[in-house]
Amino acid sequence: MLELDEKYGEEDFWYLNPKNYCRPMYKKPKEEKEEYGVGMAGLESTAIEGLKSTIDMKDKDPDGYKSELEGLSATMQEMAPAQVITLEDAKKIMDIAQPLVKIDCICRRMTRATLEKGESRSCLGIGLGMLRWGMIPERYKGGVEFISPEEAKKFLGYWNKKGMVQTVMTFGKTKEGAPYIGGVCNCDYPDCIAIRFRNDYGIRSLYKGEYVAKVDYDMCSGCGTCVERCQFGAIKKEVTTNKSNIDMYRCFGCGLCKETCPESAIELVERISLPALRDEW
């Protein structure tokens, strides 16, 4: 079982527990930083410095590199863990935590050096903290748009259909000490820093999802839609059968392949139900 579920799930996945969206709103920034953890600026600085140190060590000291990577992963998991979720679970969150706000994606701002505005906004800010978004002008320079739960569900569905994966993002801690969930992002490999940290460098700040995808070979037509949509490189096409094959060890359980399969040949099974994968997070 994922440690976050065990500690903060309360008989369900940790991100479906409303308590993990609650945080005091009216504390001075210095006090908040000391009591509830670093902000995004501190997180980015720590990640960049740690990543550079790890990369520098890779060729010089392979054994030290492995230790450094584990240490960086542990630090990131403590500071700001994130997790891939399914579209269905993302929609459930829309009924749990409000207000809901469309915002620009900070990852795309950093990787593309562009600012999303208006209809191009691709991420969601969540929770009461959004009522004070104006206090952090640098983070929200693209502005915000408050939307209803139903509008948010359509928003998530729109980006999922485009090929985006949903992830829950955390920022500091709740009063109970759980990671404070402050956003649901629509992510893809080229732009998402969390996905690239995990895929490219093995930094395990982004957890795999609660599910794993499984193909029904009898129903699979071999169209390859799922191969094109997978953001984690977990799906290949078998040459001999012309069927899609999912590497469950690489699967993050986002369900994007399931959502896009025209033959409904893919299902999701809970990760903990599979002995070989129950500890693969």
φ, ψ dihedrals at 92, nearest 5°:
-65, -40
Domains defined for the chain, CATH in brackets: 3-203 (no CATH), 211-272 (3.30.70.20)
**In this structure, is the dihedral angle defined by the CA atoms of residues 96, 98, 102 and 107, taken in order, positive or negative?**
negative
C-alpha closest to that of 222 among 211, 237, 212: 237
φ, ψ dihedrals at 184, nearest 5°:
-120, 115
Strands 206-207 vs 123-126: parallel, antiparallel or unpaired: unpaired
Q: How far apart are CA 97 and CA 74, in angstroms?
A: 28
Strands 123-126 vs 179-187: parallel, antiparallel or unpaired: antiparallel
C-alpha closest to that of 97 among 109, 89, 105: 89
Residue 211: the pLDDT is 98
57-to-61, 83, 135, 203 alpha-carbon distances in Å: 5, 27, 39, 14
165 DSSP β-pair partners: 187
Q: How far apart are CA 33 and CA 172, in angstroms?
A: 8
12-to-2, 16, 30, 242, 272 alpha-carbon distances in Å: 11, 7, 33, 38, 13
34 DSSP β-pair partners: none
Question: How confident is the prediction along the chain (281 residues), in pLDDT tens digits per residue?
Answer: 899 999 999 889 999 999 999 876 655 555 555 554 544 445 556 666 777 777 778 778 888 888 888 888 888 888 889 999 999 999 999 999 999 999 999 999 988 888 998 889 999 999 888 888 888 887 888 889 999 999 999 999 999 999 999 999 998 888 888 999 999 999 999 999 999 989 988 889 999 999 999 999 999 999 999 999 999 999 999 999 999 999 999 999 999 999 999 999 999 999 999 999 999 99
The gap from C-alpha 113 to its chain's centroid, in whole angstroms, comes to 21
Cα diameter, the chain: 63
Kindly report the three-state secondary structure assignment for every residue of 100-168.
EEEECCHHHHHHHCCCCCHHHCCEEEECHHHHHHHHCCCCCCCCCEEECHHHHHHHHHHHHHHCCEEEE
117 Cβ partners below 8 Å, 6+ apart?
A: 104, 142, 143
DSSP 4: H
Residue 172: the pLDDT is 85
Residue 118: the pLDDT is 85
Q: How far apart are CA 190 and CA 90, in angstroms?
A: 21
218 Cβ partners below 8 Å, 6+ apart?
A: none
Residue 147: the pLDDT is 97
Enter the tokens of residue 232: 């984690």
> Measured at the alpha carbon of residue 226, what is the angle toward residues 15 and 90, in degrees to the nearest 5?
20
281 DSSP β-pair partners: none
